[in-house]
Amino acid sequence: MEPKKNVKADVSRNSSIYFAVGLALMLLLTNLAINYKTYDKEDIDIGMINMDDELEEEIPITEQIKTPPPPPPPPPVAPEEIEIVEDEEEVVETVIESSETSQDEEIAEVEDVVVVEEPEEDLEVPFAVIENVPVFPGCENEAGNNAKKQCMSDKISQFVNRKFNVDLASELGLSGRQRINVIFKIDKSGNITNIQARAPHPGLEREAQRVIGLLPKMKPGKQRGKAVTVPYSLPILFQVQD
């Protein structure tokens, strides 16, 4: 009679499972063995602090600088000896009499006082800003200050054109365009004064002064109701015919 094998008693039935479990355990042990570290006890710092070393503070030794004492003051200057001189001359005292008068004293009559008028200052006001412009004869009926200025300018230009000798420039040997700058003043009486001229030739300057001196007397200009001197400038231009 042959013995029968029990299926449950077969050892090789689960051999693959056992092999896998054993392999996993071996890998785990190998990993632990590789990563295992050991340290020397002397290199371990337990983190204790020595407070005694921290409390000890080194204080630097400082040396106080001694400043030298100030120099002694100079000795006081000895006062000069004062020589006492005896008075030899007698001083005559001046007696000042009182200027007050008494009630019994007669008062002298005072003659009439003559008031001397101070000479008025000769003021000059520019032609462009004067309140009342000088009035040229024939411009009295013009309304407004600007209209009187324009009328005066036109009248003076017409007067100079009639009186000026334009042939004088060619006689002096001049040619081309000639310009003469003339400056004069209309004083507080309306007369023409202080005539000055500048031209390329002295002959033209004298002719310009002669013509301006022939201007008629004007009504003087006024500033704040008082007659004043008014300076006036006039350019004279003409072309010399060749």
CATH number at residue 149: 3.30.2420
Low pLDDT (below 70) residues in the chain:
1-13, 39-65, 77-121, 242
Strand, helix or coil at 127?
Answer: coil
- Domain assignment present for residue 22? The answer is no
pLDDT at 72: 81
| Residue in 157, 145, 153, 159 with CA at minimum distance from that of residue 216 | 159
User: How many domains does one find in the chain?
Assistant: 1
- Domain assignment present for residue 63? The answer is no
- Domain assignment present for residue 225? The answer is yes
- Contact between 139 and 148 under an 8 Å Cβ cutoff? The reply is yes
- Domain assignment present for residue 176? The answer is yes
pLDDT at 9: 58
| Residue in 242, 131, 241, 228 with CA at minimum distance from that of residue 186 | 228
- Domain assignment present for residue 83? The answer is no
pLDDT at 54: 53
Beta strands per DSSP E along 54-200? 176-186, 192-198
| Residue in 115, 198, 211, 201 with CA at minimum distance from that of residue 165 | 211
pLDDT at 18: 82
- Domain assignment present for residue 133? The answer is no
The enclosing H or E element of 30 equals helix 15-35
How deeply is 210 buried, as exposed, middle or buried, from its count of CB atoms within 10 A (0-12, 13-18, 19+)?
middle
Spatial separation of the C-alpha atoms in residues 79 and 201, rounded to whole Å? 80
Residue 236: give the domain boundaries: 145-240
pLDDT at 61: 64
- Domain assignment present for residue 229? The answer is yes
pLDDT at 196: 92
Which runs of consecutive H residues, i.e. helices, occur in 36-166? Answer: 51-55, 145-163
- Domain assignment present for residue 123? The answer is no
